[in-house]
């Protein structure tokens, strides 16, 4: 049987085992695609990191070879990546200047729920690792966002601090969300960073994009030349709009961003944005999904994780998403769908099965 993508069905690697790489991302190097994702285990315990980041390799995006655990959680309970931490949405990029593969991921220190809101950073000399854990960071400490007015580049005063202390911020939309307080609260110790992605532009500049400010506002940050840190150059995007699961792509000089709303593991309608320069302005274009109401409302029962350009095929991009199963995390499924362009705008439609021939001219 010719291999094909079967969105939402169990997808087996070349050993016949279900691929275990959730919330993942893909880097292509020397003609090979490498898929990195969260290794999940059975049950609700699988929502915490029990194993680490799993790597697979492929040359055709359909058949994937198990390359093992690229970054393992550690046994030392004092380690920041101790077993039982939350380690989500790992993304790897290659740095041609240093020759290193650099992995960033959303890190929550074990036992602290989602309150740490940090980025973990790890490096390796070869794509499949093993990766060495370097550090965790809260991005852009002691830097102000570039797109706020001068009067808002001020630490909180005593009244504002008291006001922030009273807030209950559950990570999803709340009434009276304070759009101008939270990044100022976090000025000194660094900005919150939960769902995240990395993006390398044509000029080699790398960016980190993450749900910040208790998920209410995305922060887009430029990475340092070695890709190991943020530079302090960053903008706030869509304050108070509660976007997460960000995924970025660029087509014909236009940047497209797909996100979800913040409803935990439960799917919600995807959101599409576009910009002519990465720093914005970004325009919101609505839901990129087409199909039945149920498909549009649930993004085909999934949540975005990555937008993948297909090498050698112009205008070919794949929407990578997760169908989470928090009650049995290992059974989460992958929903990969081709992105189509209608009047130069990305559109995503359900396919029961498809292959890369989808992108060939009719
Ligand atoms: C939605 C996020 O996109 C996931 O990565 C994960 O953090 C869940 N929320 C946890 O509820």
93-139 pLDDT, tens digit each: 999 999 999 999 999 999 999 999 999 999 999 999 999 999 999 99
Distance 362 CA to ligand 1 centre (A): 38
Nearest atom in ligand 1 to 245's CA: 3
**Res 2 pLDDT > 90:** no
**pLDDT one-digit tens code per residue, 147-170:** 999 999 999 999 999 999 999 999
Band of pLDDT at residue 362, cut at 50, 70 and 90: confident
Distance CA(107)–CA(91), nearest Å, equals 12
Verify whether ligand 1 is closer than 6 Å to residue 108 (CB atom). Answer: no
Verify whether ligand 1 is closer than 6 Å to residue 13 (CB atom). Answer: no
pLDDT of residue 1: 54
**pLDDT one-digit tens code per residue, 248-290:** 999 999 999 999 999 999 999 999 999 999 999 999 999 999 9
| Domain boundaries along the sequence of the chain | 22-140+156-354
pLDDT of residue 322: 99
Verify whether ligand 1 is closer than 6 Å to residue 265 (CB atom). Answer: yes
Q: Are 311 and 318 in contact (CB under 8 A)?
A: no
Residue nearest atom 9 of ligand 1, based on CA coordinates: 264
Distances (CA, A) of 6 to 39, 266, 333: 20, 21, 10
Verify whether ligand 1 is closer than 6 Å to residue 264 (CB atom). Answer: yes
What tokens does 204 get? 């080699």
Verify whether ligand 1 is closer than 6 Å to residue 204 (CB atom). Answer: no
Q: Are 153 and 144 in contact (CB under 8 A)?
A: yes
Domain covering 22-140+156-354 in this structure, CATH number:
2.115.10.20
């Amino acid at each position: 049987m010719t291999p094909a993508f079967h969105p939402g069905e169990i997808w087996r690697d070349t050993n016949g085992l279900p691929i275990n790489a959730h919330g993942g991302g893909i880097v292509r190097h020397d003609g090979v695609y490498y898929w990195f994702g969260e290794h999940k285990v059975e049950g609700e315990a699988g929502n915490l990191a029990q194993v680490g980041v799993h790597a697979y390799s492929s040359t055709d995006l359909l058949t994937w070879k198990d390359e093992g655990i690229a970054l393992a959680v550690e046994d030392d309970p004092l380690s920041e990546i101790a077993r039982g931490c939350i380690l989500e949405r790992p993304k790897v990029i290659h740095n041609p200047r240093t020759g290193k593969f650099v992995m960033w991921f959303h890190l929550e220190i074990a036992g602290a729920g989602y309150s740490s809101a940090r980025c973990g950073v790890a490096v390796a000399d070869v794509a499949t690792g093993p990766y060495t854990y370097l550090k965790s960071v809260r991005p852009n400490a002691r830097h102000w966002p570039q797109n706020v007015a001068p009067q808002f580049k001020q630490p909180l005063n005593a009244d504002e601090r008291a006001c922030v202390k009273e807030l209950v911020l559950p990570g999803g939309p709340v009434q009276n969300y304070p759009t101008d307080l939270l990044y100022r609260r976090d000025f000194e110790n660094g900005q919150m960073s939960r769902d995240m992605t990395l993006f390398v532009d044509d000029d080699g500049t790398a960016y980190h994009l993450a749900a910040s400010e208790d998920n209410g506002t995305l922060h887009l940050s430029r990475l340092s030349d070695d890709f190991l840190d943020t530079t302090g150059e960053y903008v706030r995007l869509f304050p108070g709009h509660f976007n997460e699961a960000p995924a970025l792509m660029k087509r014909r000089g236009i940047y497209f961003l797909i996100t979800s709303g913040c409803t935990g593991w439960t799917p919600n309608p995807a959101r599409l944005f576009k910009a002519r320069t990465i720093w914005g302005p970004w325009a919101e274009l609505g839901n990129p999904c087409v199909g039945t109401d149920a498909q549009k409302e649930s993004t085909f029962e999934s949540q975005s994780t990555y937008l993948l350009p297909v090498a050698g095929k112009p205008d070919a991009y794949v929407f990578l998403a997760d169908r989470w199963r928090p009650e049995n995390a290992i059974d989460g499924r992958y929903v990969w769908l081709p992105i189509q362009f209608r009047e130069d705008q990305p559109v995503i439609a359900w396919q029961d099965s498809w292959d890369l021939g989808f992108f060939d001219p009719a």
